[in-house]
Each structure stands twice: as structure tokens, then as C-alpha cells.
Amino acid sequence: MPKPTDILIAGAGIGGLTAALACAQNNLKVAVIERASELGEVGAGLQIAANGTHVLEKLGLGAELENIGFRPEAATLRLGQSGRTVFSNPLGEAARERYGAWYYHVHRADLHRILAEAANVNPNIDLQLGKAVTGFVEKAGLVSAALSDGNSIGAGALIGADGIHSSVREGLFGKDAPRFTGNVAWRLLVPTRSLPAGLIPPHATVWTGPKGHAVTYYVRGGELVNFVGVVEREDWQVEGWLESGDISELKQGFAPWCSTIHQLIDAADETTCFKWALFDRDPLPSWSKGRVTLLGDACHPMLPFMAQGACMAIEDAWVLATELATAEDPAQAFLDYEAQRKKRTARVQMAARANAKRFHKGAPLGQLGTYGPMWLAARVKPDLLNKPFDWIYGANVTKA
């Protein structure tokens, strides 16, 4: 067995790579084991709010983030069928002033690439592709992880950043299937040049409707519009980023929606259409045992309806690395980490579930009761619309 490393991370997704960079910045030697034989994230858009941006900036990735990102001017809520605007609240400079960092929209692949590039040139990080962590044992102050290529690797501590179907989680707490949330999501990327000018405003827009909602925003510096359309459905539960979607089925799901949504869908290339069922899990009562812990979706997978899953993984990574660098031993570091993170991540998980209900109002009375107060606030006291987000975007784990 090769000489043990300080930290072993299972999974080189956004969470695993951020954790590797944060540990390396604290002079820890890190090995990252990734199941995929090539790095190259799939998927489409991601919103990185100020709470995620703070960490990426502290890791020295601020300039790269600015290069790949798009800064939305406003957060907007519209009724999907009529297209009417309930509110449009400034983001951009206003959000930076309020939260101390920019709000960005990025393509997942672009964010993953800048993280991977930084990891690849970091002498403290050893990134190993094409093998999975299949099990682990802890003995005499070391964790030994079994790998799918038949080898094993020793480390002072193991972090499971291996996503919603985490094998490290299973090794810690046993088998436990994720929960199907009753929602299916379609994803499209549409070239901006193929759309009439001004059709999609440069906002983070949520379009609400009966038993479904859609989200539109620009990525890749404004070259592409990211569309996610969510519909409540029980009959299709295939999970994964690479299930092709059928545009005619997507259009049917949004049949009574306004012409803007249909113009957007009509301009999409069928090959960019993917569909997947959305799963989450309940908050975990504890995250760690001894020298093994979890991070990101391995720990607290959530519906994407707060646009915070990746941001929570990024925050986890920073806190975890800070604790590892300062605590007496990894087991204590993990207990301190989990004590700082559990309440916040559980609250975001629950808020994402609540948004499924909030965004899917169909009946006129339900819409009036939910969106009426927002419409009024936007006209009388717009700051009331910011306040519910302050606890999320306003947190800066790099200052804690």
C-alpha cells in the first residue's frame, strides 16, 4: 500500500474538488478518487449565490468565476401561463452590496473545469480517475479504503463527497434509498442568438404554474439560455443527467403556458433536451463516525428549488478544511464540522421542499394567497422580498 495521505476524498464533483482545494490550501496532502475515467461535468446551469462565491474567491478562483459567469440583474417571479410579473427584485450590484459578493449563473461544466484545473496543478492534490471507493475500515488512527481496481489506499481521514448514491454514506450508516419527490425536470440549453432579442430578460426567473414551474437564466457569459422545466409526475422515476428528453413531451407538459416559454422551447436543439426524476433525502441525524465523514449531496441531497445544493457543498468544503487544519484530530474536526453545518443544511433541504408547493400553485385563490403579498411587497416595500433570503446568501463561512 502506498504511503498514507492526510485526507482521502471519494468523488471529484463540485463538492469533492472544492474540499480538495480547501484542504490543500491548509497544507494538507489530499488524494481524490473519482469513479469517472474522465473529468467533464454534464448538466446545465447552476446559480452560485454570494455564499458560494465567497468560498470560490478565497480559493483564488474569483477571476475565473467572473470569466465563466453571468451576473443576473434581478430575481424575478412570473406566472407561467399569463407571463405576468409578480415581482422583479434587483440582484447585480444590489446583491453584491447586501451580501458582499456577486451572484453568478454558470454552466456546471465550466465551474467543474476551473475547479479541476486548479486541482490538477496543485502539488498537494493527487487526483486519481477511473476508480471508485468501494468500502473502508478504520484502524489504528488510519482509514484504509478499498478501490474498485482491487487496490487500497490509506489516509488519516476519509471524506465521502460521492453524491446522492454515496457508498461512503452506505458504509457509515447502511443502505437507505433516496426519496422520489414526485417531480420530473426537463433541461434545455438554447443559444441566445437563436432567440428574438429581449425575449428572455437577463434575470434569474422562476415561472410558476399549476403542478409545475420553470426556471430561465443565462450561462456562459450570456451565450446560452438555461431552461429547467419541472412537472409533478409519479410515472417516471429515472434518475441521471444523461436521459434524453423528448421536446414534444416537454411542450405537452407546458401546453397552457405563455408564448415566451414555447418560443424558448421551440428554439432548442433536441440534442440538448434531457429529463430526470428528482430525488432527495431527509436530513441525517449525524454525518460522521470517527475519521470518516460526508459532504454535499452524499450528506444532504435536496431538491434544486432553492438553487443551493452546490453552494451548500462548497460551504461544507470550506468549513471541513478549516476544522481539519485546526482540530486536534480528524474525528474531532468532523464533529465540529457537523455541528456547524447540520442545522443550516437541513433548513435549506426543507426550504427546497417547501418551494415545490410555493411554485406549483394553479388555482386562482391559491395563486392570489401566495403571490398577492409578494406583488404588493414589490410595490410598497421591496426589501421585504430580500429578507427571506438573507440567512442563506448573507452567510460567509470564510469569515466564521
Q: How far is the CB of 368 from ligand FAD (least distance, A)?
A: 28
The residues that bridge with 201 in the sheet, in sequence order, are none
CA gap 91, 11 in Å, rounded: 33
104 is catalytic: no
* Residue 185 binds ligand FAD, judged by CB under 6 A: yes
Q: How far is the CB of 247 from ligand FAD (least distance, A)?
A: 17
Residues 6+ apart with CB under 8 A from 376: none
- Using the rule CB under 6 A, which residue among 132, 142, 247, 350 binds ligand FAD? 132
Nearer to ligand FAD among residue 115 and residue 377 (C-beta) = 115
* Residue 15 binds ligand FAD, judged by CB under 6 A: yes
- Using the rule CB under 6 A, which residue among 6, 29, 31, 34 binds ligand FAD? 34
Tell me which residues in 246-285 interact with ligand FAD (CB under 6 A).
Answer: none
User: Which window, 189-197, 264-272, 305-313, 382-390, contacts ligand FAD (CB under 6 A)?
Assistant: 305-313
- Using the rule CB under 6 A, which residue among 7, 8, 12, 294 binds ligand FAD? 12
Residues 6+ apart with CB under 8 A from 383: none
* Interaction pattern, residues 308-337, with ligand FAD; x per rule: CB under 6 A: xxxx-x------------------------
Residues 6+ apart with CB under 8 A from 150: none
Query: Is residue 33 within 8 Å of 293, Cβ to Cβ?
Result: no
User: Which window, 8-16, 117-125, 326-334, 366-374, contacts ligand FAD (CB under 6 A)?
Assistant: 8-16
Nearer to ligand FAD among residue 57 and residue 162 (C-beta) = 162
Catalytic-role residue among 103, 104, 217, 393: 217
User: Which window, 13-21, 73-81, 327-335, 352-360, contacts ligand FAD (CB under 6 A)?
Assistant: 13-21
- Which H, E and C letters describe the chain, residue by residue? CCCCEEEEEECCCHHHHHHHHHHHHCCCCEEEEECCCCCCCCCCEEEECHHHHHHHHHCCCHHHHHHHCECCCEEEEEECCCCCEEEEEECHHHHHHHHCCCCEEEEHHHHHHHHHHHHHCCCCEEEEECCCEEEEEEECCEEEEEECCCCEEEEEEEEECCCCCCHHHHHHHCCCCCEEEEEEEEEEEEEHHHCCCCCCCCEEEEEEECCEEEEEEEEHHHCEEEEEEEEECCCCCCCCCCCECCHHHHHHHCCCCCHHHHHHHHCCCHHHCEEEEEEECCCCCCCCECCEEECHHHCCCCCHHHCCHHHHHHHHHHHHHHHHHHCCCHHHHHHHHHHHHHHHHHHHHHHHHHHHHHHCCCCHHHHHHHHHHHHHHHHHCCHHHHHHHHHHHCCCHHHC
* Interaction pattern, residues 147-166, with ligand FAD; x per rule: CB under 6 A: --------------xxx---
Nearer to ligand FAD among residue 250 and residue 298 (C-beta) = 298
Nearer to ligand FAD among residue 87 and residue 186 (C-beta) = 186
Nearer to ligand FAD among residue 185 and residue 378 (C-beta) = 185
Q: How far is the CB of 104 from ligand FAD (least distance, A)?
A: 10
Q: How far is the CB of 94 from ligand FAD (least distance, A)?
A: 19
* Interaction pattern, residues 43-62, with ligand FAD; x per rule: CB under 6 A: ---xx---------------
- Using the rule CB under 6 A, which residue among 133, 172, 392, 397 binds ligand FAD? 133
Q: How far is the CB of 167 from ligand FAD (least distance, A)?
A: 4
**Count of residues touching ligand FAD (by CB under 6 A):** 31
Nearer to ligand FAD among residue 10 and residue 75 (C-beta) = 10
Tell me which residues in 193-232 interact with ligand FAD (CB under 6 A).
Answer: 228
- Using the rule CB under 6 A, which residue among 297, 315, 336, 338 binds ligand FAD? 297
Query: Is residue 72 within 8 Å of 92, Cβ to Cβ?
Result: yes
**Grid coordinates representing 366?**
391559491
Nearer to ligand FAD among residue 27 and residue 37 (C-beta) = 37
Query: Is residue 121 within 8 Å of 127, Cβ to Cβ?
Result: no
Nearer to ligand FAD among residue 295 and residue 377 (C-beta) = 295
Which residue, chain included where needed, has cell 416595500?
Answer: 381
Residues that bind ligand FAD (CB under 6 A): 10-16, 33-36, 46-47, 132-133, 161-163, 167, 185, 228, 296-298, 304, 307-311, 313
Active site amino acids: 217
